[in-house]
Amino acid sequence: MGVSRPERVSLHDAAERLGVHYMTVYHYVRTGRLPAQRHGATWSVALDDLEALRARAPGGRARPAVPRPSRLADRLVAGDEGGAWRVVEDAMASGRDPAAVHTEIVVPALRQIGDRWARGELSIADEHRASVIAARLVGRLGPRFARRGRHRGTVVLGAVAGERHALPGAILADLLRGRGFEVLDLGVDTPAASFVETAHTADRLVAVLVGATSTGHDAALREVVELLHEAGTGARVLVGGRAVDDLEAARRLGADAWSGASAADALAAVERLAREPASGA
């Protein structure tokens, strides 16, 4: 006695009080935004928690807060594709555009998963399962980056032979598409000659981005850069990705420039090149 227990209501009541559909409240519960208790087949929520949710939303209506990357990381690791996609939807409902979903939520979530793997908290199997779902999310978001009208020039992008991290390139490709560039994404494990072949076919080539995420691919990076320069494509060759530390490392690999430490850096580097007249050929 003496401790007052918070009053609880059903999800239908909660939906009415928030002025949203029942499924929206159910979604809040499933994604952890609204604490709930299960009694058999039904759920109840505390009025205090409902008020806290309402207080976070402008106008008193339950507008989702920007989800934390850890929420996405948890859903990815749990193998919960539906829950992971709901995190993306919540981010967009909270006003984030698809580019911000990538840079503020998907990329940090993937990095958290890598850190957890490095600390021994996740197995390689966990990481594989999580990245398959992440790839599906990236695929679902892809069409939202399409731009109409004449493109601003072409970027050829790919990860070198031996490199299997596909997500960094796929994400960067979409961010570039969102800025109006045509992107020819060669994916991972790309033979050096394929970069050259693709660069030759590109319409108004702005740059070739050659990347590696895990270390140990310097020889392959150098080979691609050399071949591109020798082939007379006229391409400005940028190397980047997590495995290339800085401009000095990029120069040692023979590149014209470094694409930077983040997606934002890479976008800025390509934007700069797009404003300059093309060199040579």
Measured from the CB atom, is 11 or 122 closer to ligand B12?
122
Which of 133, 166, 228, 255 is close enough to bind ligand B12 by CB under 6 A?
A: 166
- Compute the CA torsion angle 202, 206, 207, 213 (nearest 10 deg): -100
Asked if 250 is part of the footprint of ligand B12 (rule: CB under 6 A), the reply reads no
DSSP label at residue 190? B
Measured from the CB atom, is 157 or 184 closer to ligand B12?
157
Site string for ligand B12, 134-153 (x = CB under 6 A): -x------------------
Q: What long-range pairs does 241-244 form, CB within 8 A, spacing at least 24?
A: 241/159, 241/163, 241/165, 241/168, 241/169, 241/211, 241/212, 241/213, 242/165, 242/168, 242/212, 242/213, 242/214, 243/211, 243/212, 243/213, 243/214, 243/215, 243/216, 243/217, 244/211, 244/212
How far, in Å, are 75, 83, 130, 261 from residue 117 at the CA level? 15, 21, 11, 21
Which of 209, 227, 228, 250 is close enough to bind ligand B12 by CB under 6 A?
A: 209
> In whole angstroms, how close is the CB of 249 to ligand B12 at the nearest point?
12
Maximal C-alpha separation, the chain: 85
Q: Which range, of 32-40, 74-82, 108-116, 273-281, touches ligand B12 by CB under 6 A? A: 108-116
Residue 111 tokens read as 């990095």
> In whole angstroms, how close is the CB of 130 to ligand B12 at the nearest point?
7
Q: Say how far apart CA 170 and CA 228 lie, in whole Å.
A: 22
Asked if 110 is part of the footprint of ligand B12 (rule: CB under 6 A), the reply reads yes
Measured from the CB atom, is 53 or 113 closer to ligand B12?
113
Which of 159, 205, 207, 225 is close enough to bind ligand B12 by CB under 6 A?
A: 159
Q: Say how far apart CA 107 and CA 89 lie, in whole Å.
A: 16
Asked if 98 is part of the footprint of ligand B12 (rule: CB under 6 A), the reply reads no
- Nearest residue to ligand B12 by CB is 114
Asked if 107 is part of the footprint of ligand B12 (rule: CB under 6 A), the reply reads yes
Residues that bind ligand B12 (CB under 6 A): 107, 110-111, 113-115, 117-118, 124, 127-128, 131, 135, 157, 159, 163-169, 171-172, 209-211, 213-215, 240-242, 259-260, 262-263, 266
